[in-house]
Chains A and B, each alone.
Chain A
Amino acid sequence: MADKLYVGVSPHIHSRESVSKVMWAVCLALIPSGIAGVFIFGLSALRVILISILSCVCTEALIQKSRGKKITIADGSAVLTGLLLAYNLSSSVPFWIPLAGGIFAIAVCKQAFGGLGANIFNPALAARAFLLASWPKQMTGFTKPFSLDAISSATPLVILKEQSAKSLSDLGLSYGDLFLGRRGGCLGEVCVIALLLGAAYLLWKGYIWPQAPAGFILSLGFLSWVFSPQGFFKGDFLFSILSGGLILGAFFMATDYVTTPLTKKGQLVFGIGCGLIAFVIRRFGGYPEGVSYSILMMNAAVPLIDRWVRPRRYGVSKNR
């Protein structure tokens, strides 16, 4: 027996959490929103999701194979990137949009940096930014909910931005519609209730921390309420947080392990920063939605946040 004993360094037991467990749990948490997306926008949404996932997984496998590395598609991270990318697309995009997006996300934003753990930017969001810059026309056409023909429809944020409507009621929408997802938008961002269900699961499991999403949502909502185009303190708090991709971004992308700060305090700063930038883009920028850009910009700020927001060292700085 003695010659078969392991003699590794302590600790000798482990929590049994693993990256693949976390990744698959996030994928699972995203499924309700995907189902809602397919229900609202039709089977074309499913087509986008499948192409996006396949594109990401194949790209990852091909690159790892060609570099002679271990193929890690089973860890779920490429699937997750594919899912998130698809959720950030309209269901009406041509098939080559998620295809190109998936390749860009994995090849350029993830593997070129050294693979999982080494990427600076959230691959799905960086791919979305790439697609938006390259094919703006295809990327900004949105399907009207519950219509089988691909009738192009603007998202509520676009309509408000263009000042053709002043408030939610002008749009013919209620808060309930926003909650359930009866609005134009990206296929995975519209059904808030489904997203919250997934987010609650991840929070309960401890796989994500609440700091970043809370900072993000509250700061964006607060700023939109205070500095509204109609005057101070006249903004619509609820509308600002239910519209666009905020819920998806805050819970599923501002909580990415790799591209966000190390500490809970740092994540709060990250979230507030995202909210601030998203607000500035929505309110003053030339583009109606700022969630994805705000996360990307804050991704770049992560090393700085980690340098400034450090954990409180025991016995060193009692009153910090």
Chain B
Amino acid sequence: MLKLKDKKELTADLAIRQARLPMKVIIPLSQHIGKAVNPIVKTGDVVKTGQLIADLREDSVSAPVHSSISGKVLAIDDLAHPVLGRARAVVIASDGLDQKEEFKPIASAETAGRLSPGDIRKAVLAGGIVGMGGAGFPSHIKLNPPKPVDSFILNGAECEPYLTSDNRLMIERTDEIIQGIGLVARCVGAKNVYIAIEDNKPDAIKAFSRKLAGTGYRLKVLKSRYPQGGEKQLIKAVLGREVPPGKFPFDMGALAHNAATIYAIYEAVYSGKPLYERVITVAGDCLEKPANLLARIGTTIRDLISECGPLKEEPKKIVFGGPMMGIAQYSLDTPIIKTTAGVIFLTESEVKPAEDAFCLRCGRCVESCSLGLEPCMISLAVEKEKWDLAKSYGALECMECGSCSYVCPQGRNIVQSIKYAKMRLK
């Protein structure tokens, strides 16, 4: 694993603040792994904040979508999408009032103990909650593991550079997160609960260590290494278990959720509030006012720039997520979605354009790979279009953490060739 320059100092000490209400939001119908949902509103409809606007297809991996502001539906159209490039989305113009739908909590602190796992899952599903670290897997499914789970891990590693949104949540919403953990641990029947935080977040560690007395939860302080926040790496770091390729964490009796997801689950259960806003880190050396914003889903990059700008220098790359695994955007009208943990602005000097360079066989990528793959050999096999060879070096097991490309002294696009190999091998 790698020790990266984490650049978290830009925002680590900035408290979460409410973003300005956007005048217009673009809410994609696909914000999760699985099938897109169907809109249940049409152009011209008036909606409230938190109102269900797209429903779930029966028996499919999916999660419902809610309006993030009150106002009028302007259009339902194919628009810029942060992950898919272009996808169907509902466009809502704000009435400026932010009139909220009435949220009905399903439990309070006193009654939460009586909730059944089914009740919790139903609330999580109704809240449209998905894995907010980036993967976007619908959380209600993850809360129903087909095998018994003995250990739950709160993923507070946040190992990507720049991102501090989970860090701030853990500092400012510690109690809520602890209650959310209680819900999830009971839901899956986990006996052991670990709170895993990397040591570059001392404030979050302090916040939890003060409040864990009596809960039986264990605080696990990890050395700051990339990609330790990856599910497989985290389970190994905390439990010493390895999840074999093709298997899932529950096969090894483990479940991990990141801090933002747990907070969303807390809100869905204790206040009945669906996932229509989230904390994002907006950072970069070229931003005048980087911030941790509580922003509405569907807020566009343009709005974020006006909130956190002005720009000191023109950015060359705008990345959703962290700089190691995030996705570079092509349009300023791209909206943030449930899985967007941060929006990072990188300048010309930080972005290294791809080079068409040969492999030296120096082995730096091999030693950097936390999954024990041989990245340079995969990329060489891909260049020769030897797909089976690429597979034998581990192409299909790659999680695309980017460590290999990061360390490559030749700046080779190893991740890109592995992505290509995966496509050809499917």
Residues of chain A touching chain B, judged by Cβ–Cβ distance below 8 Å, are: 1-2, 4-19, 21-22, 115-118, 257-258, 261-264, 266-267, 310-316, 318
Q: Give 1 or 0 for each of B358-371: 1 = CB within 8 Å of chain A CB.
A: 11111110110111
Say whether A257 contacts B360, CB under 8 Å: yes
Interface status of B317 (Cβ within 8 A of chain A): yes
Sampled A-B contacts (30; CB under 8 Å): A2-B332, A4-B314, A4-B316, A5-B316, A5-B329, A5-B330, A8-B317, A9-B328, A9-B416, A11-B325, A11-B402, A11-B415, A12-B317, A12-B346, A14-B411, A15-B407, A15-B409, A19-B360, A258-B362, A262-B366, A263-B367, A311-B374, A312-B372, A313-B372, A313-B373, A313-B397, A315-B242, A315-B371, A316-B245, A316-B372
Beyond A6-B316, A313-B397, A318-B242, whether A18 also contacts B402 by CB under 8 A is no
CA distance A72 to B324 in the complex (A): 30
Contacts of B376 in A (CB 8 A): 262
**Is B419's CB within 8 Å of the partner chain A?**
yes
Question: B413 interface residue, CB < 8 Å from A?
Answer: yes
Q: Are the C-beta atoms of A314 and B242 separated by less than 8 Å?
A: yes
How many angstroms between the C-alpha atoms of A176 and B424 in the bound complex?
A: 62
B354 at the interface (CB under 8 A from A): yes
Bound-state CA distance A284–B243 (Å) is: 51
* Beta-carbon nearest neighbor of B366 in chain A: A262
A314 → chain B closest CB, angstroms: 4
Contact pick for B232, options A11, A13, A22, A314, CB 8 Å: A314
Please, how many angstroms separate the alpha-carbon atoms of A118 and B358 in the complex?
9
CB distance from A266 to the nearest CB of B (A): 8
Select B360's contact among A4, A117, A264, beta carbons within 8 Å: A117
Residues in A with CB closer than 8 Å to B363 are: 257, 261-264, 266-267
In this complex, the member of A7, A10, A18 whose beta carbon has the largest number of chain B beta carbons within 10 angstroms is A10
Chain B residues at the A interface, C-beta cutoff of 8 Å: 161, 232, 236, 242-245, 247, 314-319, 323-332, 344, 346, 350-354, 358-364, 366-367, 369-374, 376-377, 394, 397, 400, 402-403, 405-411, 413, 415-416, 419
Verify A13–B247 contact, CB threshold 8 A. no
Q: How far is the CB of B120 from chain A (nearest CB, A)?
A: 30
Interface secondary structure of A, over-half rule: loop
Partner of A257, one of B346, B362, B372, B397: B362
Q: Which residues of A contact B331 (CB under 8 A)?
A: 2
Name which residue of chain A comes closest to B357, CB basis: A19
Main DSSP-derived SS at the B contact region: loop
Chain A residues, CB < 8 A from B370: 314
8 smallest CB-CB distances across A and B, nearest first, come from A11-B402, A262-B363, A257-B362, A315-B244, A315-B242, A314-B371, A313-B372, A311-B372
CA distance A16 to B353 in the complex (A): 12
- A8 contacts which chain B residues (CB < 8 A)? 317, 328, 353-354, 413, 416
A9 touches B332 (CB 8 A): no
Of chain A, the residue at the smallest CB distance from B332 is A2
* Contact pick for A1, options B314, B346, B360, CB 8 Å: B314
B236 CB contact (under 8 Å) in A117, A263, A267, A314? A314
| B31 smallest CB distance to A (angstroms) | 19
CB of B372 within 8 A of CB of A12, answer: no
Q: How far is the CB of A274 from chain B (nearest CB, A)?
A: 17
Task: Give the residues in chain B near A2, CB-CB below 8 Å.
Answer: 330-332
A262 to B359 CA separation, bound complex (whole angstroms) = 12
In whole Å, how far is B79's beta carbon from the nearest beta carbon of chain A? 14
Identity of the chain A residue whose Cβ is nearest the Cβ of B365 in the assembled complex: A262
Other-chain residue from B314, B324, B366 in contact with A10 (beta carbon distance below 8 A) = B324
What is the CA–CA distance of A5 and B367 in the complex, to the nearest angstrom? Answer: 32
Q: Which residues of B contact A263 (CB under 8 A)?
A: 363, 366-367
Report the bound CA distance from A296 to B247 in whole Å: 44
Q: Which residues of B contact A311 (CB under 8 A)?
A: 366-367, 369, 372-374
Give the CA-CA distance A318 to B244 in the complex, in Å: 9
CA distance A9 to B413 in the complex (A): 8
Residues B232 and A315 in contact, CB atoms below 8 Å apart? yes
Q: A295 CA to B315 CA in the complex, in Å?
A: 49
In contact, B409 and A313 (Cβ under 8 angstroms): no
* Cα of A8 to Cα of B416 in the assembled complex, Å: 9
Residue of A nearest to B355 (CB): A18
A111 to chain B, nearest CB (A): 13
- Complex Cα distance A12/B315, Å? 13
Q: Are B405 and A11 in contact (CB under 8 A)?
A: yes
Nearest CB of A to B401, in Å: 8
What CA separation (Å) do A72 and B394 show in the bound complex? 33
Chain B residues within an 8 Å CB radius of A10: 319, 323-328, 400, 402, 405, 415
Which residues of the partner chain A approach B330 to less than 8 Å between Cβ atoms?
2, 5, 7
Query: What's the minimum C-beta distance from B351 to chain A, rounded to whole angstroms?
Result: 6
Starting from the known contacts A8-B354, A12-B346, A15-B409, 20 additional A-B residue pairs (CB-CB under 8 Å) come to A5-B316, A6-B317, A9-B419, A10-B326, A10-B328, A11-B323, A11-B325, A11-B415, A12-B350, A13-B352, A14-B352, A14-B411, A15-B407, A18-B409, A19-B360, A118-B358, A257-B362, A258-B360, A267-B363, A311-B374
